[in-house]
Chain A
Amino acid sequence: MSNMPVSILLIENNTLSRQNMAAYLESFGYLVTQTEDGDEAVKLINDIKFDVVITDLQLQCMVNGLDILASHKKVSPEAKSFLITAFGSDEVRKQAGSLGAIYVEKPIRLSDLVALLRADE
């Protein structure tokens, strides 16, 4: 596992944020697939088995971050996932927790995110 690069699916509305995050993670050797479309993300999750899913809560489509996390959990129950939001709540935090996701509020510290990714490696 350690020889294979860790694949990450990144879903984020804000293009700058998404690109920054992807570049930052790739600089640490992660294989990042990015999209801003939730429906596409769900399709990707079902097609390719990602090691990690990092998703924004609010998306410009009918699915939101929690739906994506649910799909991901169905496909890879053991995989890591992160929910990022600019306006969360305890309830969202609880829902994310129940789907095995780590809840992170914006603005995120990318260094902290990498530390969390590395935690179990």
Chain B
Amino acid sequence: MRRKIISLRVYLFILLLCTVTPITIFAAWLVLHFAKGERESIESGIRDTNRALITALDREFESSIAALDVLATSRLLDTDNIRQFYALCERARATQLGWKSIVLHDPSEKPLLNLLVPFGKPLPPLVGKESFEKVLQTKKPAILELVKGPKGRWTFGIRVPVLRRGEVKYVLSAIIEASHIGAIMREQKLPSSWLGSIHDQKRHLVARTRSTGKFIGQNTAIMLKGAPGNAVEGSLHGANVDGVLSYSFFRRSPFSGWYVVMNVPAELLDRPVKRSILTVVAVGLLALLFGGLLAISMSRRINHSVAGIRTLAQALGLKQAIGQIEKSPVSELITITEALNDASKVLQVGEASQRKAEQELREANDRLEQRVSERTATLEQEMRKKEALEESLRSQALLLQLTHDAIIVRSFDDARIQFWNNGAAQIYGWSTEEAVGKVAHELLYSRYHEPLNEIEKQVARTGRWEGEVIQTRKDGTEIILESRWSVRRDPDRRPLEILELNSDITSKKYAEEKAQENEWLAGVGTMTAIFAHEIGNPLNAISTSLELVERQLDGKLKPQSRLTLELASQEIQRVSALLREFRTFARPQIGNFQLTNLVDLIKDVLVPQTVVCRNAGIKIKRQFEELQPTLIDRDKMKQVILNLCKNAIEAMPEGGVLTLRTHQSKDISILEISDTGVGIPQGVDVFQLFTTTKGNGTGLGLPMVRQIIAAHQGTVHYTSEAGQGTTFRICLRARSTPDGSNDARPQEAGNPGAAQLEARQSVTSPI
């Protein structure tokens, strides 16, 4: 269970309420209590006043009765000397205050005397018969109620019997002015706010402290209306005749039956109570207000002090310096503040020594750290060096795999491959798994420009070798590589391994060759163009001359002359044929490329050769593997095949075997035309212009073959062994667009010689 957390201010308010409220209530109760007492005392005062008034009234009546009794006992009445009694009565009236008249009646109600009427004159009849009869019956005095006189004056009377021999002889009455009663009341000197009134036995108002004339004779006392007839005393709360809320107290005289009514305004009685209560409540509220303000201010000051102490405590907790704390108005808080201050001082002292110790420790630590960091730096430097070395080794190893060059490590003795990098796999097509363990020269059919054993000797001696090598890839294609060898030796300086770095320079070589060839072709083109032109015209002159002569001397020529002319003509035809070949070579019209099945083309070319070969005792071997169709200028390619076949046939005058073989390696179509003929002597490049090994060769055929194959983006090479035969190998890359490959442009555009010539001729030709 959680206790509700209440702020100090609320606590103070609760305290205030708990103290002020009961005090206020008690005060109110006390006030009420005292007010009640006071009220009672006022009430008893009123009652006392009433009693006093009644007593005074009774005494007045008694004194009047006594005066009448004295008159009643007058001897004059014994003798019925009414006349003299009149005079006596006149004298008596003068002594009595308020007496207006004295009236005498006999029991038969006959008026005998009335001081208001001169003696002997007729008298007014009896007024107040009730009291008269009462006197006759009781033979005791009675009070005549208030009556209005003939002149409008209010009077009352007192009747006494005139007893003679125990019998009522006469009834003597004193008629007294009502105002006399008012005088009695005035004598009592009532408080001004009190309203006193005197009523007769019939409850008619006789006298009043104020405005008697207005109310006299009226039955005004409201309270008396409800009061029982024999009630001696009573009180009532209600509005009086003036309409003022008031308390009324009455008292009835048992002797006269008259009433005294005292009317006190309720306000008079209640005001002190109300005022007291109001005062008490006001004081209570003031006390609450003051107390509340005090509580707020107090709680604020205490809170302020508490906040200060809290800051102090926090600072202490953090061991921070403590500022001056405002003095709290609460002694207990001061005590706490002082205690905290003391604690802080103690801590500061402790801290100072601790700081010193820490400082020393820090210095020692710094020294140690410096030593450690120095050592660490040294170590890190060494580590970095080591890492750099490792990194360099790693990157070197990575480089071995990254490079496009082939890196091969093989043992010196048996040439078996020990290491084969990615570059080697890419260049040769053999994977590392396939290559490792194999003899390098056997796997790659390596061909060097010098004998291998010479190279190995050199390597063993110098530790290095550099040169070009022709090798065969897995797909059978040949590539040219630039090879660099380096030897690793054992501690005895004996060659252990050969490290071979081979760069594929086939493309480079090809490009070089092509550039050379283009240059050469340009030169040749120019030369052949000039040659054709310079020869063509004189040859035409000679030719036409011969024909003209023949025409002019037709039938007149001797057979010998005719033969001579015929031979000359033949020679001219030979030169003409040569000239035609030259023209073709100088202006090779290659460019009519069509997607062609090379095998079908070869078969077409072979048809007319079959007879020729049979006659020459040559067997044709056909080893055709289907080839991927590729773009080929059919006429020119036929020319190539025919040319090579003719060369082969001519190389086998004694007969032999002509082998035509096709096979596909990846996207390369390969055609090999082999003969078993005499072979091409070493050191002769038959692709060179005007180079021929045949007696009647022009030296243009193979250059043209090379030209045409080059225009097909292909290569042509040959291998030949004297007496064993020659193999020409044509490799054609599969193409679907003439310019789909690197530089597949029609050869005619690549032969600037002819264009140069034409340009020259069209402007400045001397011909």
**Residues of A participating in the B interface, judged by any CB pair closer than 8 Å:** 13-14, 16-17, 20-21, 23-24, 27, 58, 60, 64, 84-90, 105-111
B767 at interface, CB cutoff 8 A = yes
- Give the interface residue-count category, chain B: 20 to 34
- Please measure, in the bound complex, the distance between the C-alpha atom of A86 and the C-alpha atom of B545, giving whole angstroms: 16
B532 at interface, CB cutoff 8 A = yes
Q: B547's contact among A84, A87, A106, A111, by CB below 8 Å, is which?
A: A111
Contact yes or no, A58 B548, CB < 8 A: no
Residues of A within 8 A of B761 (CB): 58, 87
Residues of A within 8 A of B587 (CB): 89-90
The secondary structure that dominates the B interface is helix
Contact yes or no, A16 B576, CB < 8 A: no
CB distance from A5 to the nearest CB of B (A): 18
Contact yes or no, B547 A14, CB < 8 A: no
Contact A107 B543, CB 8 Å, known A13-B537, A14-B537, A86-B533:
yes
Q: Name the residue of chain A whose CB is nearest to the CB of B534.
A: A86
Residues of A within 8 A of B583 (CB): 87-88, 105
Contact yes or no, A87 B541, CB < 8 A: no
Contact A23 B580, CB 8 Å, known A16-B541, A86-B540, A107-B543:
no
B539 at interface, CB cutoff 8 A = yes
Given contacts A20-B547, A107-B539, 13 further A-B contacts (CB under 8 A): A13-B767, A16-B545, A17-B541, A20-B545, A21-B544, A24-B544, A27-B551, A58-B767, A85-B536, A107-B540, A107-B542, A108-B540, A110-B548
CB distance from B6 to the nearest CB of A (A): 117
Q: Name the residue of chain B whose CB is nearest to the CB of A28.
A: B551
- A-facing residues in B576-600 (Cβ within 8 Å): 576, 580, 583, 587, 589
- A-facing residues in B221-243 (Cβ within 8 Å): none
B324 at interface, CB cutoff 8 A = no
**Residues of B participating in the A interface, judged by any CB pair closer than 8 Å:** 529, 532-533, 535-545, 547-548, 551-552, 572, 576, 580, 583, 587, 589, 754, 757, 761-762, 765, 767
Q: Name the residue of chain A whose CB is nearest to the CB of B546.
A: A20
Contact yes or no, B765 A58, CB < 8 A: yes
Contact yes or no, B533 A24, CB < 8 A: no
Contact yes or no, B572 A107, CB < 8 A: yes
CB pairs A–B below 8 angstroms (12 shown):
A16-B544, A17-B540, A17-B541, A20-B545, A23-B548, A84-B540, A86-B535, A86-B537, A90-B587, A107-B539, A107-B542, A109-B543
CB distance from A23 to the nearest CB of B (A): 6
Residues of A within 8 A of B536 (CB): 85-87, 105-107
Contact yes or no, B767 A17, CB < 8 A: no
CB distance from A81 to the nearest CB of B (A): 18
Contact yes or no, B544 A110, CB < 8 A: yes
Residues of A within 8 A of B545 (CB): 16, 20
Q: Name the residue of chain B whose CB is nearest to the CB of A16.
A: B541
Most A C-beta atoms less than 10 A away, residue of B533, B540, B544, B762: B544
CB distance from A103 to the nearest CB of B (A): 13
Contact A24 B551, CB 8 Å, known A87-B529, A107-B540:
yes
Contact yes or no, A106 B537, CB < 8 A: yes
- Please measure, in the bound complex, the distance between the C-alpha atom of A108 and the C-alpha atom of B589, giving whole angstroms: 22
- Please measure, in the bound complex, the distance between the C-alpha atom of A58 and the C-alpha atom of B532, giving whole angstroms: 13
Contact yes or no, A106 B539, CB < 8 A: yes
- Please measure, in the bound complex, the distance between the C-alpha atom of A84 and the C-alpha atom of B533, giving whole angstroms: 12
Contact yes or no, B548 A20, CB < 8 A: yes
Residues of A within 8 A of B757 (CB): 87
Contact yes or no, B532 A86, CB < 8 A: yes
Residues of B within 8 A of A86 (CB): 532-533, 535-537, 540, 767
Contact yes or no, B540 A106, CB < 8 A: yes
- Please measure, in the bound complex, the distance between the C-alpha atom of A85 and the C-alpha atom of B540, giving whole angstroms: 10
Q: Name the residue of chain A whose CB is nearest to the CB of B554.
A: A27
> Top 8 A-B pairs ranked by shortest CB distance?
A86-B536, A20-B544, A107-B543, A106-B540, A16-B541, A107-B540, A106-B536, A17-B541
- Please measure, in the bound complex, the distance between the C-alpha atom of A88 and the C-alpha atom of B548, giving whole angstroms: 24
Residues of B within 8 A of A14 (CB): 537-538, 540-541
Q: Name the residue of chain A whose CB is nearest to the CB of B536.
A: A86
Residues of A within 8 A of B580 (CB): 105
Q: Name the residue of chain A whose CB is nearest to the CB of B582.
A: A87
Most B C-beta atoms less than 10 A away, residue of A16, A20, A58: A20
- Please measure, in the bound complex, the distance between the C-alpha atom of A38 and the C-alpha atom of B542, giving whole angstroms: 23
CB distance from B143 to the nearest CB of A (A): 181
Residues of B within 8 A of A106 (CB): 536-537, 539-540, 543
Contact yes or no, B767 A20, CB < 8 A: no
- Please measure, in the bound complex, the distance between the C-alpha atom of A58 and the C-alpha atom of B589, giving whole angstroms: 21
CB distance from A80 to the nearest CB of B (A): 19
